[in-house]
Amino acid sequence: MIEEGTPTGFLRTIISKAEVYIPQVPKPKKKIPLQVRLMWCGLALFIYMIMGQTPLYGATVPAFDFLAFARVIFASQQGTLIELGIGPIVTAGLLMQLLKGSEIFHLDFKKPEDRELYQTATKIVTYIVIVAESSLYGMAVYGPRLPSHEAGFILVGQLIGASIIIMLLDELIQKGWGLGSGISMFIAAGVAQQVVWSLFSPIPAGDGGPVGVFVNIAHSFITGNFSNLFFRSNQLPGIFGLFVTAGVMLILVYTQGMKIEIPIVSTKYRGFSAVYPIKLMYVSNIPVILASALTANAVFIGQMLWANFNPRNANPFMNFLGMFDPTAPSTPIGGMLYYVTAPRGLDIVALDPMRAVLYILFMVGIVVLFGRLWIELGGLSAKSAAKNLLDADVQVPGFRRSNQPVEALLQKYIPSVTILGSMILGLIAGTSDVLGTFGSGTGMLLTVDILINYYNLLVREKVEEVMPSLGGLLGRK
Q: What is the mean pLDDT of residues 429-434?
A: 88
Give the tens place of pLDDT for each residue, 36-91: 999 999 999 999 999 999 999 888 887 777 677 678 778 888 889 999 998 888 88
Q: Are 189 and 74 in contact (CB under 8 A)?
A: no
Q: Out of 13-27, 163-177, 205-219, which region has the weakest mean confidence (pLDDT)?
A: 13-27
Residue 473 banded pLDDT, cuts 50, 70, 90: very low
**Residue 105 or residue 440, greater confidence:** 440
Residue 468 is predicted with a pLDDT of 53
Among 36-50, 91-105, 238-252, name the most confident range.
36-50
Residue 2 is predicted with a pLDDT of 46
User: Does position 224 have pLDDT exceeding 70, yes or no?
Assistant: yes
Q: Are 114 and 12 in contact (CB under 8 A)?
A: no
DSSP letter (8 states) at residue 81: T
Helix (H, G, I), strand (E, B) or coil at 212: coil
User: Does position 477 have pLDDT exceeding 50, yes or no?
Assistant: no
Amino acid at 404: Q
Residue 102 banded pLDDT, cuts 50, 70, 90: low
Q: What is the mean pLDDT of residues 1-27?
A: 70
CA distance 132 to 138: 10
Closest by Cα among 178, 222, 219, 180 to 202:
219
Give the tens place of pLDDT for each residue, 112-127: 777 777 788 888 889 9
Q: How many residues does the chain have?
A: 477
Q: What is the mean pLDDT of residues 320-329?
A: 82
pLDDT above 70 as % of the chain: 89
CATH, domain 247-477, list 3.30.1490.20, 1.20.120.1080, 3.30.950.10, 1.10.3370.10: 1.10.3370.10
Q: Out of 82-96, 223-237, 260-274, 409-423, which region has the weakest mean confidence (pLDDT)?
A: 260-274
Residue 374 is predicted with a pLDDT of 79
Residue 129 is predicted with a pLDDT of 92
DSSP 332-359: EEESHHHHTS---SHHHHHH-HHHHHHH
Please tell me the pTM assigned to this model. 0.77
User: Does position 418 have pLDDT exceeding 70, yes or no?
Assistant: yes
CA distance 188 to 182: 10
Residue ranges matching CATH 1.10.3370.10 in the chain: 1-15+31-178, 247-477
| CATH architecture of residue range(s) 1-15+31-178 | Orthogonal Bundle (1.10)
